[in-house]
Amino acid sequence: MEETHLTQLGHQARGFASPGEAVLERVPNPHADTLYLTRFTAPEFTALCPVTGQPDFAHLVIDYAPGDWLVESKSLKLYLGAFRNHGAFHEDCTVAIGRRLAAELSPRWLRIGGYWFPRGGIPIDVFWQSGAAPAGLWLPDQGVAPYRGRG
């Protein structure tokens, strides 16, 4: 495994103006020989509607089975925060996040659920995964109920 130089963890780090500018950092997985699941939940994710400029809100659940790398959580938080002023449709945001994480980490498997709060009276839920889950991987439910006020 190669050495990693963390530029955000333990340092004052400003947010990024856009997801494309955001730096996702990774650290070596000390249990790369073990099949397990890591979950990140972002219940207050925001992006902008690319048409109206109005804010859109989502509850994101990211599950991945790490390979050689783990995502450094502060860099993930800053990356997700970079969507706050970024205009994109729900599907674009959700799939782009999953694909970027998969490209940066090369996990054994990754899935993302984007549970978007309604605008115009319609909630939109978007799901993406990198492929079939590895045999033997415990996959808990993502824990977000079908829309009934998302409470």
Q: Are 118 and 55 in contact (CB under 8 A)?
A: no
Quick one: tokens of 17? Answer: 């103006």
* 93: annotated active-site residue: no
3-class DSSP state for residue 12?
Answer: coil
Query: Catalytic: which of 49, 68, 92, 125?
Result: 49
Q: Are 11 and 25 in contact (CB under 8 A)?
A: no
Query: Catalytic: which of 33, 56, 68, 141?
Result: 56
Quick one: tokens of 114? Answer: 């984007």
* 56: annotated active-site residue: yes
Q: Are 115 and 61 in contact (CB under 8 A)?
A: yes
Catalytic residue positions, numbered: 49, 56
